[in-house]
Amino acid sequence: MVVRCWVVCCLMFCAVRSFALSNASAKCVLPVVYSARQFLCELRQPSLGNRTTFSRQGSTMSAEGGGAEAKLAAIPDVEIDPDGKFKYILIRCHGPGDVSKDIVRGFAWAEYHADIYDRVAPGIEALGFDCECIGGGRIQHSSSQRTILVYGYSMGFGQADHSITVEKLKKKFPDYSSITFNNEGY
């Protein structure tokens, strides 16, 4: 029953998304579609309690391959475009037990925040980790002026905790003169 419901919801999502992408006047539908997609993905994923159990079951394989902590540390904290104004997301990667790490990903090619997640998540999951998008926003990056401004929110994932993002960015770009955030704008 749950599988049948999931299949029907996926088909509906694909149909509405296809319609919205082919019809320029229907672009307002996409934020609603992506919010529904996020909700469906949360239904499909195990709860946080089950995720910990699942991760512990898989921890033997991860530990044999050099340890989950080492693999998690190998995932770069920040990957963003060098210049421009673009969307970003904050992703939480879960390993065995209480091992977790937040990472920042932002790219100008992404039309929607979900596009970034859809491209990044499979790579993280291939390493044996669970991941979830815990919010998004926008980044205005100027490498020539050595400044970064983090602001806004994601329609589908909500607003990221920009203070976490700024701390990650400060570690990645220690020589920048200004890395700040505000909770204004879209």
Domains and CATH numbers, the chain: 45-181 (3.50.20.20)
**For residues 50 and 149, which has the higher predicted lDDT (pLDDT)?**
149
- Across 26-36, average pLDDT: 46
87 is in an annotated binding site: yes
Find, among 50, 66, 25, the residue nearest to 130 by Cα. 50
Show Cβ contacts of residue 70 under 8 Å, excluding neighbours closer than 6 positions.
none
Active-site positions read 113
What are the two backbone dihedrals, phi and then psi, of residue 87, each rounded to the nearest 5 degrees? -80, 150
Region 75-82: what's the mean pLDDT?
96
- Mean pLDDT across 61-71: 61
Q: Which whole number is the average pLDDT over 102-117?
A: 97
| Backbone phi, psi, residue 176, to 5° | -75, 145
Which residue has better confidence, 181 or 31?
181
Contacts of 20-24 with C-beta under 8 Å, sequence gap 24+, read: none
What tokens were used for 124? 């993280």
Whether 44 shows a pLDDT value over 50: the answer reads no
∠ CA 48-53-57, nearest 5°, is: 140
The better pLDDT of the pair 57, 69 is held by 69
pLDDT at 18: 53
